[in-house]
Structure 1
Amino acid sequence: MSALRCALIETSEEEAYVAVAKYIAELRDGQQSTFTDECEQLYAAEQHEKLLDKFMSALDAVFAAASSDADLECCLNMMCHLVPRIPLPAATAAAQRLAAALAASTDSRPDKRLLALVTLYNAAYDAPTKAAVLLQALGYAKAAGLSDTMLPVIRAHADSWPTELGLDAAGERRLFTACADALEGCTRKPRTAAREGVRLLSKCLVTYEDAPAAELPTAVPAAAHVVAEFVRSPDVFQFDLATNPAVAQLSSVKEHAPLHRLLSIFLKGSVQDYQAFVATADGTAALAAAGISGEEALAKMRLLAFMGLAHGATEVTFGQIQAALDLSAEEVEGAVVQAIGKRIAEARIDQLRGVVAVSKCAPRTFGPQHWLELQTTLAGWKEAAIMAQQAVAEAGGSAPARSGPSAAPAPAAVRA
């Protein structure tokens, strides 16, 4: 195998941009042209915005004719790094134009276009520009079928983006909604993507807690999506947004009122309430809106009813479970085992006594009452810790501390 030789050649930044101009001219015209001279003059005059526009005018030709991935990436990188050379506020508009041009096609080298959008995000130096490019990249990822590429990025950075970008409540909502929308296109880990999407939409709904009533209608799609996802999920049994104004308003929206009624039954009602509701036209509409069958919804309702029965209790009888879950006597133990398997509760079945000893069971929804209970519990722990600390201090004051060999009594003197 022949040895590889590497030569380092010192070049100026100007030479790099001239080389890009020559490369684009050859791809576009097949030869050197006035395009190169014009680009060189613009760079020399520090007309970076016009130079970027000049490069962008040939962007389609670059994507269509570039045969080398390395050359294409280099060309796109140089375009992206022209943006921070443009003074504000023109830089924001220039970045948006470049982002729009990169996202204009999903047929021509979509992976390189998305990579360039990420590069542009990193190259931008002001928060508004970064935010605009990020939204463009998220939308493009879904449109180009590259959502799987964005999943790890969103999971790692979505929570910190609002602070880093200085977003207000409206900007935070747009970002979280765009992230959730992008994740809907994931195919490799759809369940992970769905959970992350619902989590981000839930964070979006939290921003409406103190919002003016006039802003609430904009939250309807996100609220309906989060509620539907909770209803149809076989593994999620706690919903903490029941009192959220964005969710509560669904009860007065004709299209989503049946779904909200189903949610209310899941969180506060009984199996009998559920059975009566699904026998109506609204119940049928609610199941369809949630994308869940009646059998699947009934199975989840029974688990939720067990939560309502077991939360706060130390023991629950087989008879109580049978009545609450509308089961036969033979089905009770299986239902309890399923609840334990779903980690709804920590419990032990006592077959001889016909009871279930409950160690811990979460509530169906975590509201203001539960926050007060938690506050009381924490206050109790704090008081107990203070008392223990005082007891230790008092014990230490009445008895001298002993440690090491010096604490041992000295031996008596030996007399001859």
Structure 2
Amino acid sequence: MHVPPIFIDVSADDQAQELRAYLKSLGAEISEEKSPKGLEDDLHKIIGVCDACFREGQETEVECVLNDIVSIMVSIPLERSENIILAFCEKLTKATGVKLGNVCLRALWLLFQSLDERSPMRYHVYYHLIVIAKTTDEIKSVFKDVDNLKQQFALCPPSNDQLQKLYRLLHEVLLKSNQSEQAAKVMIELLSTYTSENASQAREDAIRCITTALADPKTFLLDPLLSLKPVKFLEGDLIHDLLTIFVCENLESYMKFYKNHKEFVTQQGLNHEQNMQKMRLLSFMQLAETNQEITFEIIQKELQLGPEEVEPFIIEVLKTKLVRARMDQLVKKVFVSSTMHRTFGRAQWQQLRDLLHAWKSNLNSVHDGMKTITAAQIELMNQQ
């Protein structure tokens, strides 16, 4: 989000008095007289009643008032402005309606950008930015990705508790905005903040991470979740068993699990039909890893499809680009050229290493061949 800098050619005291007078004219319970306790007390009182200007259709005036408050706030030394900043953040989260919410979002973003990058208050401002973004559906304007978020706080990292609180909120907001992929990455970051000593405290977060990943139609590489300490702590629980099925087993295993634990699957907020579709895709990927040719008959049997469902299913698989293949309806076969692996462990790294070595060897052969041809051409030219 880009908010232009604001330059106001009047003193902070004069600005505060003008704001007092304006808010009083709107019916706010505030005196026009300066506080004898100084500018900080003035600002506290102004923030306490600034919502008097929060009216639909008056967004321009609201933005001017909020920007005035920000310009005064940043002129006060940080050690004396912490409570003022927190009060301002809380007040702005109370704005109702999308238009007013967006005005408040811009004002808080201006404050966030105005604070020194070493200021611990930037975390609190950013947290409230996400709170407002939740109601305005403008999360993309204040959150790009996890790496960018870490850069924002590189000079003053939040505490572990603060990060966990922020990641939980971000996960909720991203899901609400249909950004499931980003939400999954945020949840993995959240789980990575736990250690072996406190992993047991992350039970709810770990379960939420697993169910979000399973429900996301775009998430297929699930085995990294198994290495997270809070997820390891769930070993022996039904949710861990279900995750393991999605990581390395087939549709038949899932169907057996569902038959025995229907109520559990429903309680997790998971949709059985969507689970089946995802397991069919994963099972097909598993088949494609070890078979360059797959008959329609095998696909029908392994994925529990009707004869008329095979071709539409293969078309859907090819659309996902998880598997690169060619379908031949005449011979009723699928010819696989490549596939994404469901898991990426030591065997896959070794396979990649062997492939890169083969490429390197082939490139060296081509290079040597070109050198030979070049030398022969030079010799021929010299003879002429």
Q: Which residue of 1 aligns with 2:10?
A: 13
Q: Which residue of 1 aligns with 2:110?
A: 119
Corresponding residue to 2:19 among 1, 11, 23: 23
Q: Once the 2 structures are TM-superposed, how far is the Cα of residue 160 of structure 1 from its aligned partner?
A: 0.9
Matched positions, count? 368
Write out per-residue CA displacement over residues 346-379 of structure 1, whole angstroms, 9 at most, x where no aligned residue.
Answer: 2223345443211122222333432333233234
The residue correspondences of 1:54-203 to structure 2 (distance < 5 A) are 54-65=42-53, 69-103=59-93, 105-107=94-96, 109-127=100-118, 128-142=120-134, 145-146=135-136, 148-154=137-143, 156=144, 158-166=146-154, 167=157, 170=160, 172-186=163-177, 191=178, 193-203=179-189
Query: What letter corresponds to residue 183 of structure 1 in structure 2?
Result: L
Q: Is the 8 A contact 2:20 2:31 kept in 1?
A: no
CA distance in 2, matches of 1:276, 1:66: 57
CA distance in 2, matches of 1:122, 1:264: 44
- Cα distance change, pair 318–113 in 1 and its aligned pair in 2 (3 A): closer
1:339 and 2:331 aligned: no
Query: What letter corresponds to residue 231 of structure 1 in structure 2?
Result: L
Query: What letter corresponds to residue 171 of structure 2 in structure 1?
Result: A
CA distance in 1, matches of 2:274, 2:61: 54
Q: Is the 8 A contact 2:293 2:333 kept in 1?
A: yes
> 2:325 is paired with a residue of what secondary structure?
strand
- Cα distance change, pair 20–276 in 1 and its aligned pair in 2 (3 A): same
Query: What letter corresponds to residue 77 of structure 2 in structure 1?
Result: P
| TM-score relative to the length of structure 2 | 0.79
CA distance in 2, matches of 1:37, 1:168: 36
> 2:281 is paired with a residue of what secondary structure?
helix
- Cα distance change, pair 179–53 in 1 and its aligned pair in 2 (3 A): farther
CA distance in 2, matches of 1:314, 1:112: 57
- Cα distance change, pair 72–324 in 1 and its aligned pair in 2 (3 A): closer
Q: Once the 2 structures are TM-superposed, how far is the Cα of residue 138 of structure 1 from its aligned partner?
A: 0.9
Q: Which is worse superposed, 301-310 or 91-100? A: 91-100
Q: Is the 8 A contact 1:274 1:301 kept in 2?
A: yes
1:288 and 2:288 aligned: no
Query: What letter corresponds to residue 351 of structure 2 in structure 1?
Result: E
Write out per-residue CA displacement over residues 144-182 of structure 1, whole angstroms, 9 at most, x where no aligned residue.
Answer: x22x1223432x355312123113683655443332222
Q: Is the 8 A contact 1:307 1:345 kept in 2?
A: yes
Q: Is the 8 A contact 1:216 1:245 kept in 2?
A: no
Aligned-pair identity in percent equals 21
Q: Is the 8 A contact 1:259 1:290 kept in 2?
A: no
Query: What letter corresponds to residue 321 of structure 1 in structure 2?
Result: I
| TM-score relative to the length of structure 1 | 0.74
CA distance in 2, matches of 1:375, 1:121: 46
Q: Once the 2 structures are TM-superposed, how far is the Cα of residue 289 of structure 1 from its aligned partner?
A: 0.7
> 2:334 is paired with a residue of what secondary structure?
strand
Q: Once the 2 structures are TM-superposed, how far is the Cα of residue 92 of structure 1 from its aligned partner?
A: 4.6
Cα RMSD of the aligned pairs, angstroms, is 3.6
Q: Which residue of 2 aligns with 1:51?
A: 39
CA distance in 1, matches of 2:84, 2:360: 56
Query: What letter corresponds to residue 123 of structure 2 in structure 1?
Result: A
Query: What letter corresponds to residue 246 of structure 2 in structure 1?
Result: F
Q: Once the 2 structures are TM-superposed, how far is the Cα of residue 213 of structure 1 from its aligned partner?
A: 0.6
Q: Which runs of no fewer than 5 residues in structure 1 stay unpaired?
A: 1-9, 43-49, 411-416
Q: Is the 8 A contact 1:176 1:200 kept in 2?
A: yes
Q: Which residue of 2 aligns with 1:385?
A: 363
Q: Which is worse superposed, 116-125 or 167-176? A: 167-176
Q: Is the 8 A contact 2:226 2:232 kept in 1?
A: no
Corresponding residue to 1:363 among 338, 341, 354: 341
Write out per-residue CA displacement over residues 369-390 of structure 1, whole angstroms, 9 at most, x where no aligned residue.
Answer: 3233323323433343344344
CA distance in 2, matches of 1:72, 1:299: 50
Q: Which is worse superposed, 385-394 or 236-245? A: 385-394
Query: What letter corresponds to residue 100 of structure 1 in structure 2?
Result: E
CA distance in 1, matches of 2:13, 2:85: 18
Query: What letter corresponds to residue 263 of structure 2 in structure 1?
Result: T
Write out per-residue CA displacement over residues 287-343 of structure 1, whole angstroms, 9 at most, x where no aligned residue.
Answer: 4314203x3322332222111111242112334323322345554444333322333
CA distance in 1, matches of 2:62, 2:301: 69
Q: Which residue of 2 aligns with 1:269?
A: 249
Query: What letter corresponds to residue 288 of structure 1 in structure 2?
Result: Q
> 1:214 is paired with a residue of what secondary structure?
coil
Query: What letter corresponds to residue 92 of structure 2 in structure 1?
Result: L
Whose radius of gyration is greater, 1 or 2? 1
